[in-house]
Chains A and B, each alone.
Chain A
């Protein structure tokens, strides 16, 4: 294993790897950021397929009008569980996994700052998730009140309320510990010369996301604890008959829930800001603007929560405040999109799979952004609210946004993780299949939403039938395409004979590419000596 950069001492010979022996020693007791990152990513992929199965069942029932397959109670369990699993099981753990793998390698650290807590924050998750998913098999079934858990409806469940709340608490604890670890690592473990404003944008995006997590996860914990005591201990926080207020839950929930939306997209912004410069072979346009826009989006995300509640009957001043605040988010988000396009401008572009996903992200996330600005306009939202227009909006942002960001990242860094190149041909097939089907799946939902179809209904008027059938076909197609993804990953890790170089991509910059592929078990045992051309794509002067 030859050192790639003479500035970095070759301390990574196999003799010093200290990889634990035995399966349990290696995976259950691990404190290694790469192993924990792998665990997070495998967990997330599993959750993605489980949550995806729920989505397939939903689309199967909605394939045509009339209830053919299930009772409405079960349909409501599907939508509730689909939301909870995809948010807390698939998207969030995937980003934490990427953070674990990449942040120490990107800032020149040997590992995460708090490795034992890292182990704990992962191993809570499978148990939390088991509690959540097993509810479906309990008498009375799983929760049916939607992932937003609005009382009084959510409290109409039986034992599943307690299970769901306990699971949410555990996932919250896991997220908070993960966030503490990321902040501690970034603030304390940077190699000399890795100033804050020289960090890769992915690291910046996670630093900001981690602060959001620490701020809002306890708020969610408080909200669900009040649900718990309302249900089982006779309190009346949200019970109007006891002097409580059901709307207060929504305010508390969305004070968590809106920053949560950005927790699921900011790291994807970071990923795209790494990939676009690499395959454009040009520095990221406006590095500092990218960092500041991330920070302003994070700040604004904390003061716009009630735009999820325009129809609950807020005072006029409240409606206007939350409308203006929400529209303002369009400014820093626009800056990011313009900067990505400017990064491509006068570059030297190639179209490997990570770049294809990154381009699709910019195009499709922007469509989600457009419908987001439309939803911010209060009078129009009196029509859009709780319709398929909104379903389409947030799936554009979360599937062709956050999820495509994650897929781009997996294709981008998989050679670094595994030491092998994935099959570019099958990666591209996966991309084209996904990007076409995701639009067949979600674009028609704009139309049925505008025509008057509410969300979370198991059956609908025949006027909505054609677009729903189209959407279901797109759904099955998109779901099937993900087995290609699985196949490409398994092939790359276990079967691929094409070895990856340390640099992997011609235009790649950043400390992670100075390490050999696969990356050694401990990243930087001694701090690397950093020169400006090794830094990520930021122009360090600006």
Chain B
């Protein structure tokens, strides 16, 4: 609660609660989480209150004489029925939210995420209906990687980016996304199961070999959002972070065009020596 209202891009020291996130979905997840939390607090106050009262009031040392009754049908009906109503109150917004989260229709671009031990590949499959060849691997940044070696003696507090500590939460190439565009993610893996999680987007989704999962996001505010692999995937499971950089649409389109040009150039460069070697052979 201490941090509610702030769209945190990074976990903060002494952070107590879930981020409210950078998307409407993340905000709504935060809301059902807080609803459930306050319901639990309320039930806790009643149950623990009754218990503490009983423990003080009905102690033998105060001369309490035990009653002999052992049932009360009316009370039992009450405390079976009221929880059912409370559960419905919690389930209702949750159900609406699950339905909305499952709806990947009308997405405007598609990103394919592939998990490898221990890095991510991002493919920009299409953007507003137009296929793109842009794809790259994203791995742990060099500085974190040096520090995290066992017994390196290097200080994790020194790994910074723009004033924020990004130890184990930074990559060489972030996933660039446009603000305000509905992005469909398709996720899979090449070796073992991974899970792609950025808390500010509100969800994680397993990346499983042989299976293609989907989910979606529409980021409202520009910023850098960090996450990590959330499914145990071997020795470097803790060292395959995710960084999503959300930029204004125009900036994204410019970037995408540059990347497409670079991809095309790389393809020609790759094809040329292959052709030469073929003639030589």
By a beta-carbon cutoff of 8 Å, the part of chain A in contact with chain B is: 65-73, 76, 144-146, 150, 152-153, 156, 240-241, 244-247, 280-287, 289, 311-313, 316, 319-320, 323-324, 327-328, 330-331, 334-335, 337-338, 341-342, 344-351, 359, 362-363, 366-367, 370-371, 373-374, 377-380, 382-383, 385-387, 447, 450-467, 507, 537-539, 542
Contacts and interface: CB of A to CB of B under 8 A. Distances in A.
Given A350-B60, A463-B13, A542-B70, 6 more contacts: A73-B235, A328-B87, A359-B55, A377-B94, A465-B13, A537-B70
A338 B47 contact: yes
11 contacts: A67-B148, A67-B152, A245-B210, A282-B70, A311-B206, A334-B83, A338-B79, A349-B54, A378-B94, A450-B17, A459-B239
Report the contact-size class of chain B (Cβ under 8 Å from the partner): 35 or more
A147 to B, nearest CB: 10
Interface in B53-110: 54-55, 58-61, 64-72, 75-76, 79-80, 83-84, 87, 90-91, 94-95, 97-99, 101-102
Interface in B143-157: 147-152, 154-157
A66 B44 contact: no
A347 B98 contact: no
B199 interface: yes
A462 B191 CA distance: 30
B70 A286 contact: yes
Nearest to B197: A454
B217 to A, nearest CB: 12
B80 A65 contact: no
A246 B98 contact: no
B29 A462 contact: no
A452 B199 contact: yes
Interface in B192-234: 192-193, 195, 197, 199, 202-206, 208-211, 213-214, 227-234
Contacts of A284: 70
B181 to A, nearest CB: 21
Interface string B17-38: 1110000000011001100110
A70 B16 CA distance: 29
B148 A330 contact: no
Contacts of A330: 83, 87
A461 B166 CA distance: 7
Given A71-B235, A286-B76, A462-B165, A452 B94 contact: no
Given A241-B210, A383-B18, A454 B229 contact: yes
B235 A72 contact: yes
A244 B211 CA distance: 11
Contacts of A373: 36, 40, 87, 90
A383 B199 contact: yes
B169 interface: yes
Contacts of A69: 150
B68 A320 contact: no
Contacts of B149: 67
Contact of B58 (A348, A383, A459, A507): A348
Interface core residue of A245, A344, A455 (most chain B CB under 10 Å)? A344
A246 B197 contact: no
